[in-house]
Amino acid sequence: MDKIKILMIQGSLQAGGAEKAMVSLLNTLPEEKYDVDLMLSARTGLFYDQLPKWIKIIDQPFPFNCLSHKPTDWHFYVHHPIMWIKKVKRTWIAKHQHKLHLIQSLWRQWRDDIPEFEKEYDVAYGGQEGMCNYYVIDKVKAKRKIVWIHNDYDKLLYNADFDRSYFNRATIVATMSQEARLILQKIFPECADHVQYLANITNGRMIYKMSEEQLDDHNFIHLQKGLNIISVGRLCAVKNFSRALDTASLLKEEGILFHWTIIGEGSERKTLEQKRHDLGLDNDVSLIGLRSNPYKYMAHSDVLVVTSDFEGKSIAIDEAQILGLPVITTDYDTAPDAVENGETGIICSMTSEAISHAIKKLSQDRVLYNHIKKVLKDKHEGNVEEIEKYYAAFEGEDN
């Protein structure tokens, strides 16, 4: 039987939940069953080296790749001055209109310049909301088209009328939690039948193995006596690590012995570093940047704390739970899909006071802490069995 030909599109593999989900999925797919082309904006990134060797990497074609390059990327535009002018003009237009999301406006302006991709596939798969999905629908020839929403659509601030035509043309609109699925079905009732929940694949065996690697990092401070807190995520507004710093300040005021490690990188680094200094937390909170293997850090921690304003389905939470690490998370809409309150962690309100209280409760109530650890040990070994749902999505009822 011939292999099923799939084109998967991801902007990059630099960092982030959608990128990690893509790599985890590719590491679970069987080579003997699928022939996969992965289209990327760059052959680099935090997770790039974790790709299976059998996956064929292809570059974004010109001028689609212009969408991945800023006007200041002179080395890219040196041979494409006309496209540089278009990039500057269209970016200005996108930033100064208010009807569409910036990404939607950019796609609408660039769409006619981008030719249809020549190769035909059985399945075209957009790995993330935005450009990946629009390219799949408008520019790829495939029998089945799957587009992905990796967040609570309500919080993305996309124009639903713009996306409606794309979702209507998709075979499947996939999302990563049941709550996120219900949100999409409410906003797009005409697409309800082909909105599907496909869980992010978490490969427990791979996570366990990576967690056992030697941890030799002078940037990571582990307290022998005291609470070791860890957070993982992009340093951006929605992750709200400013709230984490406020929480750390409250813990310090109450004399709690702790060290908080934050793994991630992003546009808010300088702001967070300044706030950390202003709060007198330079010795209590470490911003250690990106790490391709966060699991060995989780293995040396006591609790994972998520301070986000919203999440789709936090991969960091899934991975922490596989390692038996209790989780404290804010009560964004999809939090109950990730954490069972009092059983696999604690869900608290979005205030530094509430998070501080939850951290103290978990550290001081050893009965609760040990109960959560036991539940996690008995319950979480990853979810590679969910791959069967991906097979069905790729192959459809006709196969």
CA distance 179 to 382: 20
Shared-domain flag, residues 10 and 138: yes
**What integer pLDDT is reported at residue 64 of this predicted model?**
95
Q: Is 193 exposed, middle or buried (0-12, 13-18, 19+ CB in 10 A)?
A: exposed
Beta bridge partners of 123: 6, 144
Sign of torsion over alpha carbons 115, 116, 119, 124: positive
**What integer pLDDT is reported at residue 381 of this predicted model?**
65
What are the structure tokens assigned to 367, written together?
């009965």
Shared-domain flag, residues 233 and 372: yes
Residues contacting residue 371 through CB under 8 Å, at least 6 positions apart: 343
DSSP annotation string for 109-134: HHGGGSPPPSSEEEEEEE-STTHHHH
Shared-domain flag, residues 322 and 234: yes
Beta bridge partners of 5: 35
The answer to whether position 150 is within a domain reads yes
Shared-domain flag, residues 314 and 272: yes
The answer to whether position 101 is within a domain reads no
The answer to whether position 110 is within a domain reads no
Shared-domain flag, residues 40 and 148: yes
Centroid of chain to Cα 320: 15
Contact 302, 327 (CB under 8 A): no
CA distance 266 to 240: 12
**What integer pLDDT is reported at residue 382 of this predicted model?**
64
pTM of the model: 0.80
Shared-domain flag, residues 127 and 26: yes
Q: Is 108 exposed, middle or buried (0-12, 13-18, 19+ CB in 10 A)?
A: middle
Which residues in the chain belong to E strands, given as ranges?
4-9, 34-40, 56-59, 120-126, 141-149, 172-175, 195-197, 227-232, 258-263, 285-289, 303-306, 327-330, 345-348
Shared-domain flag, residues 320 and 227: yes
Shared-domain flag, residues 330 and 305: yes
The answer to whether position 146 is within a domain reads yes
The answer to whether position 90 is within a domain reads no
State which residues form the domain around 272: 205-379
Shared-domain flag, residues 272 and 222: yes
Consecutive 10-residue averages of pLDDT for the chain (399 residues): 92 83 90 96 87 95 93 91 95 94 97 96 94 97 95 90 96 91 95 92 83 91 93 93 98 96 94 97 96 93 95 85 95 88 95 97 93 84 79 77
Shared-domain flag, residues 38 and 185: yes
Q: Angle 144-145-151 (CA atoms, 0-180°, nearest 5)?
A: 145
CA distance 111 to 166: 13
Shared-domain flag, residues 196 and 344: no
The answer to whether position 233 is within a domain reads yes
How many domains does the chain contain in total?
A: 2
* Domain CATH code at residue 262: 3.40.50.2000
**What integer pLDDT is reported at residue 311 of this predicted model?**
84
**What integer pLDDT is reported at residue 343 of this predicted model?**
93
The answer to whether position 71 is within a domain reads no
CA distance 88 to 128: 24
Shared-domain flag, residues 197 and 209: no
Radius of gyration over every alpha carbon of the chain, rounded to an integer in angstroms: 22
The answer to whether position 289 is within a domain reads yes
